[in-house]
Amino acid sequence: MKKSYLIIGAGLAGLTIAYQLKKRGQQVLLLDKGENHSSSIAAGIVNPMVFRRMNKSWRLDDFLPFSETFYKELESLLEVSFYHPIPILRCFSSLQEKQWWLEKSAKREYEDYLHDFQNGNTEHPLLHCEFGMGKVKSAYWINTSVFVENFQKYFLTNNELRVQEFHSGDLFPAEARYEDKIYDGIIFCAGHAQKYLPYFHHLPIEQTKGQVMTIRTNELSETESLNRKCFVLPLGKKLFKVGATYEWNNPTLHATPDGLHDLQDKLSHLFKGSYELIKQDAGIRPTVKDRRPLLGQSDEYNHLYLFNGLGAKGYMMAPLLSLEMAELILEGKEPPMEYNIKRFS
């Protein structure tokens, strides 16, 4: 039988869980107050590696292939293009990093991701790459503003999304009633703004502000993304997104001169050329100290669910995690404790 679900927040988390439930024949209604400051600001880079220790990203072999299929399926449904494969050139920042790269790239389990070491300096005179560089394969980026706008439009035209703020005073959680309608489940996907709602308050969601700038330059390649201290992502037409800052426990939403200074400083460790600043944006990532997402059902009211904590790698994880969320809601299949909200009970 068709069940109905209310979803609070139409960012990456809300849109993907709404889609998974709808695909399984359920009725969904998304409420969004129209203040998205994370999913549509994000660079949307899906990087298979964590450069800090040159390791594969968490659950990479599950998340990466699933997410690619998911985004390609959505592109045909929405009839827009937002999925773009792109190699990432990592300019090493130390000899230690170069060493890690050489060790890892010799291992079979990394062969799909790490390309040969390159010397860099002569080929790329405008880049700081005194320790050499390596190319990461199997990376891609999602054009996040196109993705969010078109995915929201899909639900809007089906009357499944209302641009409206959720008010907790209108929720009767024991009976899963919001205003005058009773739902089979209510799923909170409010990102960092979950902090301002009275449910799931015990969870340690942190507000990690991030700022990015868009620059124009003729001196950078448009066929690869760069990384050292910051990322540089080609957007086309000689425009590049550069980011990002990490400002912990900062819930302010505006771009700042300090943020700009930080971005320019990070870029100066990678790029020696000249550029023109086009704009600066800010957003807030919903992060968790243990760097694992938050999926689960409330202990107190069993019709209430939460899908949050997507952090800095949300675009790679959300497709598969939203499926796991749908399995929890429809079949009672609990996500593993590693990212279940019960780990904080």
Contact footprint for ligand FAD (CB under 6 A): 8-14, 31-39, 41-45, 165-166, 189-193, 210, 212, 243-244, 283-286, 308, 310-316
Whose Cβ is closer to ligand FAD: residue 23's or residue 167's? 167
Tokens representing residue 293 in the block? 């997402």
CB of 125 to ligand FAD, least distance (A): 27
In the complex with ligand FAD, the residue whose CB is nearer, 92 or 315, is 315
Kindly tell me which of 127 and 321 has the beta carbon lying closer to ligand FAD. 321
- CB within 8 Å of 209: residues ≥ 6 apart: 245, 246, 247, 248, 250, 251, 252, 282, 283, 284, 285
DSSP-H helix ranges across the chain: 12-23, 60-78, 95-105, 144-157, 257-268, 314-331
Q: How far is the CB of 41 from ligand FAD (least distance, A)?
A: 5
Closest to ligand FAD by CB, 132 or 194: 194
Select 37 or 266, whichever has its Cβ closest to ligand FAD: 37
Shortest Cβ 280–ligand FAD spacing (Å): 11
Nearby residues of 30 by Cβ (< 8 Å), 6 or more positions away: 7, 9, 10, 14, 15, 18, 155, 160, 161, 162
Strands 133-136 and 114-118: antiparallel
Question: Considering the complex, what minimum distance in angstroms separates the CB of residue 83 from ligand FAD?
Answer: 13
Residue 243 C-beta: closest distance to ligand FAD, Å: 5
Q: Is 103 exposed, middle or buried (0-12, 13-18, 19+ CB in 10 A)?
A: exposed
Q: Which is nearer to ligand FAD, 62 or 123 (CB)?
A: 62
Q: How far is CA 203 from the centre of its chain?
A: 19
Smallest separation, CB 281 to ligand FAD (Å): 7
52 in helix, strand or coil? Answer: coil
Nearest-angstrom CA–CA distance, 228 and 231: 7
Nearest distance from C-beta of residue 223 to ligand FAD, angstroms: 18
Select 131 or 143, whichever has its Cβ closest to ligand FAD.
Answer: 143
Q: Which is nearer to ligand FAD, 123 or 222 (CB)?
A: 222
Beta bridge partners of 217: none
CB of 42 to ligand FAD, least distance (A): 3
Look up residue 125 and give its two tokens. 């005179």
Q: CA 122, 128, 130: angle at the middle one, nearest 5? A: 65
Q: Are 112 and 60 in contact (CB under 8 A)?
A: no
Q: Could you tell me if 15 and 151 are in contact, meaning their C-beta atoms sit under 8 angstroms apart?
A: yes
Strand partners, 206: 287
